[in-house]
């Protein structure tokens, strides 16, 4: 398969950063227009990012074939991620990271670059995921790409058609990781006036890109410290609180207005009507249209 030239990658993109780290471009890029996600297929034997860099996109990595040893450094803390066929790793956007991937031979990776506004802040550190659904998704994606004979930079109908399903599943898996993250008794609950400041900001930006780093900055804390302090004070994660407030607002609009569901979804900060409907059913027990009929 024809390999892309490095200059085919948008400067400053996550794909360009990863390409520089390994010295080779991906075999090809596949883009989803609606969500802005980009998938890249890599075939290489090593990759090293020596200087800490932050990326605007989340990176979901899937080891399609082969094996390698992964090392990620975030804020001086090192974590190792052994990569074997089927391994999944998630790197959150906006965090300065370094990484090294080394192997005795070549290995194949899928990278899915997800714009930060499309996926709300859920975890603040790199995490290894274990999920049969995501594994099956990438296997199917690989088969679709191979059968289509993709090359160069192309639009992916498959990625467009499945973006909402993928984002919904990834949100659930990452939320489980955040809920299972250990908390330490040394972190005090966020003080009431600081909690109110954060809650007010969230309520004032119902359709905005509410990032964990932004919320932490409101109270002069690191994202990791803020995540734990907020959870101790509010009894839930910032991500779940944002989702609940947006769904509460959506319920008000469904009940008190005749605005179309798609407009309400956008106005309440959801990336699409389908994503909104999925989360609404998950957390409210019915679809938005059913809620409107009942109220």
The tens digit of pLDDT for each residue in 202-257 reads 988 887 778 777 888 899 888 778 888 898 898 888 888 888 999 999 999 999 99
**Contacting residues for 119 by C-beta, under 8 A, at least 6 apart:** 58, 167, 170, 171
* pLDDT beyond 60 at 2: no
Task: Please give the Cα distance from 241 to 265 (Å, whole number).
Answer: 17
Domain 6-180 belongs in CATH node 2.60.120.10: yes
Mean pLDDT value across the chain: 82
Beta strand 152-155 with 38-53 is unpaired
- Locate CATH 2.60.120.10 in the chain: 6-180
| CA distances for 45 relative to 100, 149, 281, angstroms | 11, 24, 44
Confidence category of residue 82, pLDDT binned at 50, 70, 90:
confident
Q: Quick one: pLDDT at residue 255?
A: 93
Q: Which CATH class is domain 192-294?
A: mainly alpha
What predicted TM-score, i.e. pTM, was given to this entire model?
0.62
Cα 200 to chain centroid distance, Å, stands at 25
Look at the alpha carbons of 53, 16, 93, 144 in this order and tell me if their dihedral is positive or negative.
negative
- Locate CATH 1.10.10.60 in the chain: 192-294
The token duo for 192 is 């009431």
For the stretch 131-140, contacts whose Cβ atoms lie closer than 8 Å and that sit 24 or more positions apart, written own/partner, are 131/88, 131/169, 131/173, 133/169, 134/62, 134/88, 134/169, 134/170, 134/173, 135/62, 135/86, 135/88, 137/162, 137/166, 137/169, 138/62, 138/64, 138/110
């Amino acid at each position: 398969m024809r390999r892309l030239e490095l200059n085919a990658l948008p400067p400053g993109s996550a794909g360009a950063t990863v390409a520089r780290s390994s010295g080779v471009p991906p075999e090809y890029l596949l883009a989803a227009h609606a969500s802005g996600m980009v998938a890249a297929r890599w075939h290489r034997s090593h990759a090293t990012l020596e200087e800490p860099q932050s990326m605007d996109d989340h990176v979901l990595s899937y080891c399609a074939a082969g094996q390698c040893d992964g090392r990620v450094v975030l804020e001086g803390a090192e974590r190792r991620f052994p990569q074997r066929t089927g391994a999944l790793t998630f790197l959150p956007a906006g965090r300065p990271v370094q990484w090294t991937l080394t192997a005795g031979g070549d290995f194949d990776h899928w990278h899915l670059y997800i714009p930060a506004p499309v996926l709300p802040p859920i975890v603040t550190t790199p995490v290894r995921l274990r999920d049969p659904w995501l594994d099956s998704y990438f296997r199917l994606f690989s088969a679709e790409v191979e059968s289509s004979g993709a090359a160069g930079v192309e639009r992916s109908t498959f990625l467009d058609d499945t973006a909402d399903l993928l984002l919904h599943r990834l949100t659930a898996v990452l939320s489980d990781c955040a809920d299972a993250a250990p908390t330490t008794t040394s972190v005090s609950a966020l003080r009431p006036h600081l909690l109110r400041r954060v809650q007010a900001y969230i309520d004032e930006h119902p359709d905005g890109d509410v990032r964990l780093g932004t919320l932490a900055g409101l109270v002069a804390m690191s994202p990791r410290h803020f995540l734990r302090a907020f959870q101790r004070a509010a009894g839930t994660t910032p991500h779940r609180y944002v989702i609940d407030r947006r769904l509460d607002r959506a319920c008000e609009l469904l009940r008190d207005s005749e605005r179309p569901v798609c407009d309400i979804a956008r106005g309440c900060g959801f990336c699409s009507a389908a994503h909104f409907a999925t989360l609404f059913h998950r957390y409210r027990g019915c679809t938005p249209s059913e809620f409107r009929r009942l109220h």
